[in-house]
């Protein structure tokens, strides 16, 4: 457990030393979601309708922007080998790296969502639902993304390949995440969507770290 916190602390410290890379992804999220109200104009009804989809798609893409950093830098300078040789289960270290990625690339989206939502004229209950779906959904994005990041280690043009591998896997999260906000806005019960997102999160937590750890081991062999 100490090692889990050690690796999270290490990754966060590295991010703090190089803030620009993280801020790029967040700035991307803010700008893309702000462009839609500006481009479409002051049609509040239309904005409310497209808000969940636009915000969720922007969240997917900005998560993707930060993904290649998850293992690539450590792979290049040999630190990944050292992690593999540390007397810790590789799964634990990979989990730590995924958590660090979520804290940096996922959590800020959850916090920013209400501010972005105001631009789309969402009411308080929709904002609340949007935040909860992002809170449940963004960890799944980080988890699934780690598989792509690990599989494309050492591949030339890996980040394009990674997008192609990972984006299709994001579809269920997108459907249930955006669906929950839409259902709430038309007065339907959105708890079913929450349950499904929660189930996706539990499922991903249970299997993905093992898959990613195996992929990392193959890459450094």
Partner 1 sequence: MTINTSTTSSNPTLALEARGLCCIRGERELFTGLHLRVAPGDCLHVRGENGVGKTTLLRLLTGLSNPDSGEVLWGGQSITHDPIAYHRELLFLGHRDALKEDLTALENLQMYAALDDVSLSVEKAMATLWRFGLRGRENLPVNCLSAGQKRRVLMARMLTRQAKLWILDEPFNALDIQAVQELQNLISEHLSTGGLVVLTSHHEISIPNVQVLEL
**Residue 210 lies near partner 1 (rule: CB under 8 A):** no
Nearer residue to partner 1 within complex by CB, 23 or 164? 23
Give 23-83 as a 3 state SS string: HHHHHHHHHHHHHHHHHHCCCHHHHHHHHHHHHHHHHHHHHHHHHCHHHHHHHHCCHHHHH
Q: Residue ranges of the alpha helices (H) in the chain? A: 2-17, 19-40, 44-67, 69-76, 79-85, 90-105, 107-119, 124-151, 158-166, 171-185, 191-220
91 binding partner 1? (CB under 8 A): no
Residues 102-141 that bind partner 1 (CB under 8 A): none
Choose which of 12, 30, 32, 79 interacts with partner 1 (CB under 8 A). 79
Which CB atom, from 42 or from 77, has the smaller least distance to partner 1? 77
Quote the CA–CA distance of 181 and 50 in Å, as a whole number.
10
Q: Which CB, 17 or 156, lies closer to partner 1?
A: 17
Q: Is 78 in the site for partner 1 (CB under 8 A)?
A: yes
* Count of Cβ atoms closer than 10 Å to residue 157 Cβ: 8
**Taking a C-beta distance cutoff of 8 angstroms, is the pair 29, 62 a contact?**
yes
Select the residue interacting with partner 1 from 43, 81, 123, 189 (CB under 8 A).
Answer: 81
Specify the residue, 86 or 165, whose C-beta has the smaller distance to partner 1: 86
C-alpha 154/C-alpha 146 separation (Å) is 14
CA distances from 173 to 37, 94, 104, 127, 161 (A): 24, 22, 19, 18, 20
Contact call for residue 175 and partner 1 (CB under 8 A): no
Which of these ranges, 4-12, 127-135, 144-152, 169-177, lies near partner 1 under the rule CB under 8 A?
4-12
CB of 3 to partner 1, least distance (A): 6
> Which residue number, 154 or 192, has a Cβ lying nearer to partner 1?
154
Of 7 and 200, nearer to partner 1 (C-beta) is 7
Q: Which residues bind partner 1 (CB under 8 A)?
A: 2-3, 6-7, 9-10, 13-14, 17-18, 76-79, 81-89, 93, 220-221
């Amino acid at each position: 457990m100490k090692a889990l916190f050690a690796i999270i602390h290490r990754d966060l410290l590295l991010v703090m030393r190089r803030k620009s890379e993280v801020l790029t992804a967040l700035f991307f999220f803010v700008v893309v979601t702000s462009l839609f109200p500006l481009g479409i104009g002051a049609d509040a009804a239309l904005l409310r309708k497209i808000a969940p989809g636009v915000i969720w798609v922007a969240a997917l893409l900005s998560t993707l922007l930060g993904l290649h950093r998850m293992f690539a830098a450590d792979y290049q300078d040999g630190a990944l080998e050292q992690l593999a040789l540390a007397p810790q289960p590789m799964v634990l270290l990979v989990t730590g790296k995924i958590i660090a990625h979520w804290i940096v690339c996922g959590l800020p989206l959850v916090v920013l969502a209400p501010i972005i939502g105001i631009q789309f004229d969402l009411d308080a209950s929709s904002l609340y639902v949007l935040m909860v779906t992002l809170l449940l959904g963004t960890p799944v994005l980080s988890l699934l993304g780690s598989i792509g990041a690990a599989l494309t280690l050492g591949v030339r043009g890996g980040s394009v390949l990674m997008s192609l591998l990972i984006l299709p896997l994001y579809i269920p999260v997108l459907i249930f995440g955006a669906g929950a906000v839409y259902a709430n806005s038309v007065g339907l019960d959105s708890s079913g969507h929450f349950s499904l997102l929660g189930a996706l999160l539990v499922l991903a937590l249970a299997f993905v770290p093992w898959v990613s750890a195996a992929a990392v081991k193959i890459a450094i062999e």
